[in-house]
Every structure is written in structure tokens, then in C-alpha cells.
Amino acid sequence: MRNLDDIIKAYDVRGTYPDQLDEDLAHQVGGAFVRALGIAARDGGPGAVVIAHDMRPSGPSLVASFSEGVREQGVDVILIGLASTDGLYFASGRLGLPGAMFTASHNPAQYNGIKLCRPGAAPVGQDTGLREIRALIDSGVPSYDGPLGEVTEQDMLTEYARFLRELVDVSGSRHLRIVVDAGNGMGGFTVPAVLGTAAGLPPLPLDIDEMYFELDGNFPNHEANPIDPQNLRDLQARMRQTGADLGLAFDGDADRCFLVDERGELVNPSALTGLIATRELAKHPGATIIHNVITSKAVPEVVREAGGTPVRTRVGHSFIKATMAQTDAVFGGEHSGHFYFREFWRADSGMLAALHALAALGETPEGTTFSSLLAPFDRYAASGEINTEVADQAAVTAAIKSEFAARGITDFDELDGLTVSGDTWWFNVRPSNTEPLLRLNVEAQGEERMIEVRDEVLDMMRAGA
């Protein structure tokens, strides 16, 4: 018997198919989604849900079952077919409807999942609907005594591509050569539309070297998870072979984008956050920029230098989006490669981040490299995120705090896990929401000091494991 605690997570529904997430559960989630959000039935007023799926083989059948659950509650369904997650967010924002995206993002082939949102791409998490959905599934979704909702199909790809191009215009860029690794994920669907001519839009001054653009949810070349360095090796090798100006790597549902510079080196997502922040502040002087607790110290420095107001928040899209709404921030960046834009309904879009990078490089004189463009934003040595399995996350975290307090350290912050700051370094240790892991991020003014702090804290974590 499946355990819903393993499937209905903090931000979405996700599990292996078909033993955890199957058509029956998708059907129940569809009905519960309508009930939990109070979406009006057809005879009680206008009501519809927009639905999309990625390239995973189980997507169409799960969508059909979810749609039936929605329709049985008297609510209409608008199917937009294949889409990236930010493509579904676009549809939700443009149509003003709640949405459901069937994807397991960067997870391996055996997984699938459902990302849910309210109208205008507002997130649905544990505190904003998922808990109620879970309760309705447990108790049994009430039936609706009325006509079935109707089903229509709508193609949103061209409108999505045109909208992004209007937000970030790269048509006047100098000519750039780029390599794109879609990882057999949805980047292979959206890149030809946005950066190419597949959506019928005018060509851009880009030569695109396509890698793994064939949509294949079995991921025959490598997992579509660019946060894992081994999944970037092919892109890095192609960059070094071709001497292209910039490399882009998308995750499975293409809501995240990681960059590789002209040397074949991975671009620090915090540096990209700083670059995009300055571009947004040039359009919106004095605006607020959101960053989470593990982005580089350089991000708030850059924001202040550009006349903006940095606001720090917890890791996770629900916290970023909520804080953006509270502060009317124009942009938010996470070290995990998620980038959020007020002009995109505060939702995250890997493609929009890629367009900003291309536009910024395209505005520079011929011969300017992306690494030199980013140098002002890449100021510190960082460890990247390191996961350690521990039995008692809270006890290990408390022991680390106690050890540093005994050394006279007083700068502790517990907004998200534990952040400890010294004179030339800081680190954050925070628990995973779903696994018995502690996640460590370290940053320092120099590589040697960063390694010292990293290894010392890792020893403490492993001692408590």
C-alpha cells in the first residue's frame, strides 16, 4: 500500500510510476485540486484548469486521468499538450487559470509528478493547498451532481515564445555562437521556439549547436539534472571543442538553466543572479531583489551597489514567490538555478534567465567573453552544496552551533537551518525536507580558507552521522 507522505511533498506531488503515482491517484488529485481551490463548476460560474505535461512516457495517461477527475467536478479542462514548466506557468498567467504540470523535473526516468498552481502561476504547496488535497484524498473526494466539464485543446507555444522575446529583446545582439544541452528534456521543445524559428518568429543572431534535443523521458544520454556536475561534462567538452561563446544546460522540465562559459567552466548561479539583478535594476531603479540564504554574499553587495534593496529569504520557490509578492520585488534568484521574474507572474523561468545572459553578452563589444562579463559578480570561493546523511539533523546542527559558539563566534542566523559567519567566511547547514540529509554550503574570500571551513564542518557533520 502506498504512503501518501512519500508522494505529496512540500511543493508538489511526485513519485515513481506506476507503483507510487499512477492513474488512479492522478484522478483523485484532479478532483481534490478542484475542491481544495474552490474552482467553480460549470453550472456555478466559469471554471477551468489548464494542464500540460513533459516528455515522460507516462505523462499523457496521467493527464487523461487527472483531467477526468477535474471534469467530474463540473470544471472545464484546457489541454496545452507538451510544455516546459514555465510554459505552463505562462498559460496560467496569461489565461488567469489554475494549472497542473505533469513532470518530475530533474528526477530519473521512473519518476513523474504534478506541480500545481493557482491562477496567475501562484504556487500550491503544503500551506497553500496541498495539505487540503491530501486530506480530501484520505477522506474521499466528494462527488459532484452536475454536468461534466468540457475539454478543449489550445497551443500556447508561439504565444509563450513571443512573450519571452518581448520581455528580453536579443534581436539587436551581436552574433553569438551557443551550445545548448537539452538533456532529452523539454529544452529540446522550447529552445527551437524561443531562440530559433520553430514558432514562426523572426530569426535571432544566434548559431545554435543542439545537443540531445530529441524528447525522450528515458534520458538515454544523461540525466536531465544539470546541478550534478557529471551531467554537464558533454556540454563542457563541446564548448572546449568548438570555442562557442556560451553554453546552456536545461533540466528535464526546462524551468532551470545552468550556464557554461567559453572556457567550458560552470557559471556560478549566484554570479548570474547578480548579473540579472543589475539588468532588472537598470529598468526598475531602486527596486527590491530577492535572494536566498545560500546565494553568494556578492549578490546583496551587487544589488546595493546598483541602488537596489536586497531581501534575504529561505530556500524554496514558495518562500521566494511569497516574499516577492510581499515586497513587490522585480527579481529573485536561487543558487539552485531557479530565477523568478515579476514580469513573469513571479514564476521561475530558465529560458528567461538564458535570454538575459544572451542579451547581456550580446550587448558587449566583439571579443568580450562571458567569463570576463561575470567577473565583477563572482567575488568569493564557494563549496557548492554538499549533502551528508545524518540520523538526527537537529542534534548535529545544535552541536555545530555549540562548537562555534565556544570559539567566540556570535554571528548566528537561523532563518533557514543555521548560518554561521566569521570575518572572511560563512557557512549554512540546513536539513532536507524529504530525506535524512544535512546540506552544507560554504563561502570564503579565498579558496584555501573555504576548503578549511568546509572540511572542518563536514567532519562535525560526519561525526554526528
* CATH number of domain containing 229: 3.40.120.10
Q: Are residues 302 and 192 in the same domain?
A: no
Domain boundary among 227, 260, 293: 260
Domain boundary among 260, 278, 299: 260
Residue 51, in any domain of the structure: yes
Residue 19 has pLDDT above 70, yes or no: yes
Q: What is the mean pLDDT of the chain?
A: 95
Return the pLDDT at 10: 82
Taking the C-alpha atoms of residue 229 and residue 222, their distance in angstroms, rounded to an integer, is 11
Q: Are residues 280 and 366 in the same domain?
A: yes
Answer with the residue of higher pLDDT: 318 or 219. Answer: 219
Return the pLDDT at 280: 98
pLDDT band at residue 17 using 50, 70 and 90 as cut-offs: very high
Q: Are residues 26 and 150 in the same domain?
A: yes
Return the pLDDT at 46: 63
Q: Are residues 188 and 138 in the same domain?
A: no
Beta carbons of 364 and 299 less than 8 angstroms apart: no
Beta carbons of 257 and 281 less than 8 angstroms apart: no
Which CATH number characterizes residue 402's domain?
Answer: 3.30.310.50
Q: Are residues 27 and 136 in the same domain?
A: yes
Return the pLDDT at 258: 96
Residue 300 has pLDDT above 90, yes or no: yes
Q: For residue 193, which of 164, 217, 171, 220 has the smallest C-alpha distance? A: 164
Residue 399 has pLDDT above 70, yes or no: yes
Q: What are phi and psi of 28, to 5 degrees?
A: -65, -40
Return the pLDDT at 335: 84
What mean pLDDT comes out for the span 326-331?
98
Return the pLDDT at 45: 59
Residue 12, in any domain of the structure: yes
Residue 433, in any domain of the structure: yes
Residue 166 has pLDDT above 80, yes or no: yes
Answer with the residue of higher pLDDT: 284 or 436. Answer: 284
Count of CA atoms in the C-beta half-sphere (13 A) of 222: 20
Residue 417 has pLDDT above 70, yes or no: yes
- For residue 189, the surrounding DSSP H or E stretch is helix 187-194
Residue 404, in any domain of the structure: yes
Q: Are residues 136 and 210 in the same domain?
A: no
Q: Are residues 300 and 322 in the same domain?
A: yes
Return the pLDDT at 40: 79
pLDDT band at residue 465 using 50, 70 and 90 as cut-offs: low
Residue 370, in any domain of the structure: yes
Q: Is the dihedral of CA 253, 258, 262, 265 positive or negative?
A: negative
- Going by C-beta distance under 8 Å and a sequence separation of 6 or more, which residues neighbour residue 108? 219, 223
Beta carbons of 111 and 15 less than 8 angstroms apart: yes
Length reported for the chain = 465
pLDDT band at residue 202 using 50, 70 and 90 as cut-offs: very high
Q: For residue 443, which of 431, 453, 430, 455 has the smallest C-alpha distance? A: 453
Pseudo-torsion of CA 211, 212, 214, 218, nearest 10°?
-170
Q: Are residues 254 and 299 in the same domain?
A: no
Query: Residue 367 belongs to what domain range?
Result: 269-377
Q: How many CB atoms lie within 10 A of CB 378?
A: 18
pLDDT band at residue 43 using 50, 70 and 90 as cut-offs: low
| 355-375 residue pLDDT tens | 999 999 999 999 999 999 999
67 catalytic, yes or no? no
C-alpha cell at 27: 484522478
Residue 223, in any domain of the structure: yes
Domain boundary among 377, 402, 434: 377
Q: For residue 78, which of 66, 86, 138 has the smallest C-alpha distance? A: 66
For residue 137, CA distances in Å to 31, 68, 123, 159, 452 come to 9, 15, 20, 35, 49
Q: Count up the domains in the chain and report the number.
A: 4
Residue 171, in any domain of the structure: no
Eight-state DSSP code of residue 45: B
| 102-144 residue pLDDT tens | 999 999 999 999 999 999 999 999 989 999 999 999 999 999 9
Residue 41 has pLDDT above 80, yes or no: no
Catalytic residue among 58, 67, 84, 105: 105
- For cell 556570535, what's the residue? 410
Q: Are residues 9 and 138 in the same domain?
A: yes
- For cell 534593496, what's the residue? 309
Q: Are residues 253 and 285 in the same domain?
A: no
Return the pLDDT at 173: 96
Residue 42 has pLDDT above 80, yes or no: no
Q: Are residues 296 and 355 in the same domain?
A: yes
Amino acid identity of 409?
I
What mean pLDDT comes out for the span 149-159?
98
* CB neighbour burial string for 306-334, b if at least 16 within 10 angstroms, e if fewer: bebebbbbbbbbbbbbbbbeebebbbbbb
Residue 79 has pLDDT above 70, yes or no: yes
For residue 106, CA distances in Å to 4, 211, 256 come to 21, 17, 9
Residue 170, in any domain of the structure: no
C-alpha cell at 238: 563541446
What mean pLDDT comes out for the span 277-294?
97
Q: Are residues 9 and 145 in the same domain?
A: yes
Q: Can you give the pTM of this predicted structure?
A: 0.95
